Each structure stands twice: as structure tokens, then as C-alpha cells.
């Protein structure tokens, strides 16, 4: 891969936790010394005895089906985890945005521009699948890529071959657990399909479809059920700051709290995008050095990981903390500037807020436990809850993105 990877330098994990009063950030924004997430180089708690946290092999080709915020974070983390002097893995990311394709290319990623391929599978996608060793699916359902893999496109029968594929992962949502009345759920919780709202039902159907596709190809599949993802340029800080700016401009808007008091009190888990990327990357590298299943033997069943923080909280509480941080003018100006520098478009309504609004709209309240998921892969969460995460963002923390990566993530 081109040396642009080194130049674009994704940021390693921050060392310092932020637990001071929000207004203390106006006096001194801590920087701290960087470190990578604590990932054990090996261990016996991983699946099938495979070592955890191993680096990608030199010939790894990681294909992202969907090039959104989380996918770009994983790509940035993969580059940052590359040992000094070693070549990073080949990274290919699909996108429907020409602007995002340009920013991805500038960061050293191979963009695959797909503008609604309809009933045909683009040759570039076929070529990428033919050499991909790892595939991460982040496109939400209904999935535009499954028909290509299952041979349901008129121009792609039989199914597209994936001769090099060792691992597949699919990002889903904790919404598949439904409403638990504030009760706790874990990776082992039995799902009740009949009680799910439409968006959650589509997520669960997507999990099952990819599980079938992976099993048909003899490939192991990991399912990542994410909480509300936030991070640089995309958080309650950004939403609240834009709300303040709109109010100053004479608009009557409120993006967190007040519009629906009942929804604002629902219990929701979130996850910092850096902590999400660290777990996904650890799962993908856990297959390094392990041979595929013997011919005729099925792959191991899919493994579910809950990708969440440890402190579920109501949305109103999160936005109250964000507004407290934004009471410092310097913090508010920096938040708006960073989002603008990354090219984040202004959000049109409260419904588009990234932190928990979809779950609030579905009236689902629950506390999701993700401790097993992180412990099984030997990954430590940097931000245990939204308090640490928002404080770090207010202090200017950009992890896991570096120069060029944030623009690609928000584009």
C-alpha cells in the first residue's frame, strides 16, 4: 500500500482519563501521552483458542462493505496498529459519495465508489471480493451487498467467489434486544422477535442473513451489536452546540431533552467510536494464523459481541452534561470548528442526533452488558461512560482519527 498511510497517521489511544469538572477545561485542556488500547498479545479466552490481538498478516486485504463513521474508524485503527516499519494491510472501503471517496483516497485507503448498482454487481466489487481476506459489513439493512454474494443478481449467478476470505464481521445494533424496561441484557440474552420495532427487526434479519451467507462459504462470522456510537465530530456536544447556534440565529430547536420527556429518560448504552474500533479490530485479527475449517466441516457458529460502554444513561442526562461543557465559550467554539473542519453536515432535526435518538424513538429502555465481549478479546475500554468520552472530546481529543481521517469519517 502507498506510504500515505504513514503520512495520514491515525492517532493512538489517549492515556489520560478526563474526570475533572467540565469548566476546568476552560483553564487547561489536558493532553496526556498517547498509548494504544491495552490488547493482550495472546490468551486462552478467545474463541477456539485463537490468539487475541495479533497483527494482520502482510497479505491481508480488509474490505469494508459500507464506508460510514465506524468503518473509517476501524480503518484508521488498523493503520495505527501496524508495527513500525511494517506495511499496513490493504484497505478497501465502499462508498456512494464521491466526496468521501476522495477523502478516503487522500488517507491512503482504496475507495470503491458504488452509485446504486441496482441489479448488477460492479466488476470492481467482484474483484475486491476475490482478494479480500477479511470483510466488515457496516451498511445498514436492507443490505445492498448480500444479493451479490448470494447469487441473486441477474448478472451475478452463481454467487461471487471469495476464495481468500477468512473472516467476516457485521455491525448491528443493541436495538435487537428490544425494550427491557430498564433491565440488563447480555450477549446470551434470548431475543424476542415478536416484540421488536421495524428498525430492530430489520437489524436482526440482517444478522441472520449474513450468518447464512458466511456459513454457506465456510467462513467464521462475528456480529457486533453497537450502542449509540459517538466520537470526534459526532456527539451530543456537536448537536448541543448547533442547537445553541441555531437558537442564537432565532430558530426554536432543542436536540436533546424537552421535546419528549418520556423518551429522554430511557436507559441507553453508548460507545466511543475508538473503543468500538478497538474491539472490532481485535476480533478481526484473532483469526491470524488459524487455518480455515477443513473441507466439509462447518465453520464455528457466529459470535455476538456487545460493543457498548459500562454506564448506560438517559439521553437527557447526556445532553445536560454536554451543555455544561459547552458553557465554556472556548469549548463551544472548538467543537463547532472541529465538526466543520471534518466536513460534518448540519443536522436537520433532533431525530438525526447520533446519540441514542433511534433507540428513544423506538421506546426501548435497557442496560446492555458488554464486559464479556471486551474481556474475551483482551481489550480495555478507554472510556467507560459518556462522562469521560464527552470530556475528552471537549478537550480536543481526536482519537482514533488523525490527519485526513476525520474528514473521511464525517464526509
Residue 72 CA to residue 405 CA, distance in Å, equals: 7
| pLDDT average, residue stretch 79-90 | 89
Residue 375 maps to a domain = yes
Residue 374 CA to residue 310 CA, distance in Å, equals: 11
CA torsion sign, 283 to 284 to 286 to 291?
positive
In tens, the pLDDT along 214-247 reads: 888 888 899 999 999 999 999 999 999 888 877 7
Smallest CA-to-CA distance from 63 within 2, 141, 143, 145 is with: 145
Give the side-chain half-sphere CA count within 13 A for 109.
33
Residue 323 maps to a domain = no
| CATH number of the CATH domain containing 52 | 3.40.50.720
| CA dist 249 → 54, 171, 244, 252 (Å) | 51, 38, 9, 9
Weakest-pLDDT range from 105-109, 267-271, 396-400, 403-407: 403-407
In tens, the pLDDT along 314-358 reads: 999 999 999 999 998 888 888 877 777 655 555 544 433 444 445
Residue 295 binned pLDDT confidence (cut-offs 50, 70, 90): low
Give the side-chain half-sphere CA count within 13 A for 47.
22
Residue 165 maps to a domain = yes
In tens, the pLDDT along 39-49 reads: 333 333 233 32
**With 90 as the cut, is the pLDDT of residue 263 above it?**
no
* DSSP-assigned letters across all residues of 23-83: GGGGT------B----B-S--SSSGGG--SSPPPPTT-EEEEES-SHHHHHHHHHHHHTSP
Residue 290 maps to a domain = yes
Residue 214 maps to a domain = yes
| CA dist 104 → 260, 270, 278, 407 (Å) | 38, 26, 20, 9
Residue 348 CA to residue 353 CA, distance in Å, equals: 9
Mention every residue, 6+ apart, whose C-beta is less than 8 A from residue 245: 336
Q: What are phi and psi of 226, to 5 degrees?
A: -90, 145
Q: What is the dihedral of CA 297, 298, 304, 307, to 10 degrees?
A: 70
Grid cell 454506564 in the structure block, residue: 311
Residue 360 maps to a domain = no
Chain-wide mean pLDDT for the chain? 79
Number of domains in the chain: 1
Residue 5 φ/ψ region, left for φ over 0, alpha for ψ in the -120 to 50 degree band, beta for the rest:
alpha
**Structure confidence at residue 343 (pLDDT):** 57
Residue 252 maps to a domain = no
Per cent of the chain over pLDDT 90 is 46
Residue 1 CA to residue 87 CA, distance in Å, equals: 7
Could you tell me the pTM of the whole model? 0.83
Helix (H) or strand (E) holding 241: helix 236-248
Q: What are phi and psi of 287, to 5 degrees?
A: -90, 0
In tens, the pLDDT along 150-194 reads: 655 454 455 677 888 999 999 999 999 999 999 999 999 999 988
Cβ(52)–Cβ(40) under 8 Å?
yes
Weakest-pLDDT range from 66-80, 112-126, 152-166, 373-387: 152-166
Question: Which residue range is the domain that position 68 belongs to?
Answer: 4-231+272-312+367-410
Grid cell 445494533 in the structure block, residue: 173
**Structure confidence at residue 252 (pLDDT):** 56
Residue 109 binned pLDDT confidence (cut-offs 50, 70, 90): very high
**With 60 as the cut, is the pLDDT of residue 367 above it?**
yes
**Which residue stretches of 297-356 are H helix?**
315-326, 329-341
Residue 41 maps to a domain = yes
Burial of 197 (0-12, 13-18, 19+ CB in 10 A): middle
Amino acid at each position: 500500500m502507498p506510504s500515505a498511510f504513514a503520512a495520514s497517521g491515525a492517532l493512538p489511544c489517549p492515556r489520560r482519563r478526563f474526570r475533572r469538572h467540565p469548566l476546568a477545561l476552560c483553564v487547561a485542556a489536558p493532553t496526556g501521552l498517547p498509548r494504544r488500547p491495552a490488547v493482550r498479545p495472546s490468551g486462552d479466552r478467545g474463541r477456539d483458542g485463537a490468539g487475541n490481538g495479533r497483527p494482520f498478516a502482510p497479505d491481508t486485504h480488509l474490505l469494508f462493505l459500507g464506508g460510514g463513521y465506524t468503518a473509517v474508524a476501524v480503518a484508521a485503527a488498523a493503520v495505527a496498529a501496524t508495527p513500525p516499519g511494517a506495511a499496513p494491510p490493504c484497505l478497501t472501503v465502499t462508498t456512494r459519495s464521491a466526496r468521501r471517496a476522495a477523502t478516503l483516497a487522500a488517507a491512503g485507503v482504496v475507495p470503491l465508489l458504488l452509485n446504486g448498482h441496482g441489479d448488477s454487481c460492479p466488476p470492481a466489487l467482484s474483484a475486491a471480493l476475490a482478494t479480500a481476506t477479511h470483510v466488515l459489513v457496516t451498511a445498514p439493512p436492507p443490505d445492498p451487498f448480500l444479493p451479490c454474494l448470494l447469487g441473486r443478481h441477474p448478472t451475478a449467478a452463481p454467487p461471487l467467489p471469495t476464495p481468500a476470505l477468512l473472516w467476516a464481521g457485521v455491525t448491528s445494533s443493541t436495538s435487537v434486544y428490544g425494550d427491557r424496561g430498564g433491565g440488563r441484557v447480555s450477549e446470551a440474552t434470548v431475543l424476542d422477535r415478536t416484540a421488536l420495532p421495524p428498525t430492530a427487526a430489520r437489524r436482526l434479519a440482517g444478522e441472520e442473513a449474513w450468518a447464512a451467507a458466511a456459513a454457506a462459504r465456510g467462513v467464521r462470522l462475528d456480529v457486533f451489536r453497537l450502542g449509540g456510537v459517538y466520537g470526534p465530530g459526532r456527539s451530543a456536544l456537536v448537536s448541543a452546540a448547533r442547537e445553541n447556534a441555531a437558537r442564537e440565529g432565532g430558530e426554536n430547536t432543542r436536540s436533546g431533552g424537552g421535546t419528549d420527556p418520556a423518551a429522554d429518560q430511557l436507559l441507553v448504552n453508548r460507545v466511543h467510536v475508538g473503543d468500538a474500533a478497538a474491539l472490532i479490530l481485535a476480533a478481526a485479527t484473532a483469526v491470524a494464523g488459524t487455518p480455515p475449517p477443513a473441507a466439509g466441516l462447518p465453520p464455528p457458529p457466529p459470535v455476538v459481541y456487545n460493543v457498548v460502554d459500562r454506564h448506560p444513561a438517559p439521553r437527557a442526562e447526556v445532553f445536560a452534561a454536554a451543555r455544561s461543557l459547552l458553557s465554556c465559550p472556548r469549548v463551544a467554539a472548538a467543537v463547532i470548528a472541529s465538526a466543520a473542519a471534518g466536513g460534518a453536515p448540519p443536522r436537520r432535526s433532533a431525530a438525526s442526533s447520533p446519540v441514542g435518538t433511534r433507540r428513544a424513538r423506538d421506546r426501548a429502555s435497557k442496560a446492555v452488558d458488554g464486559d464479556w465481549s471486551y474481556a474475551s478479546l483482551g481489550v480495555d475500554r478507554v472510556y467507560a461512560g459518556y462522562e469521560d468520552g464527552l470530556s475528552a472530546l471537549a478537550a480536543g481529543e481526536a482519537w482514533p482519527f488523525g490527519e485526513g481521517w476525520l474528514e473521511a469519517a464525517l464526509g
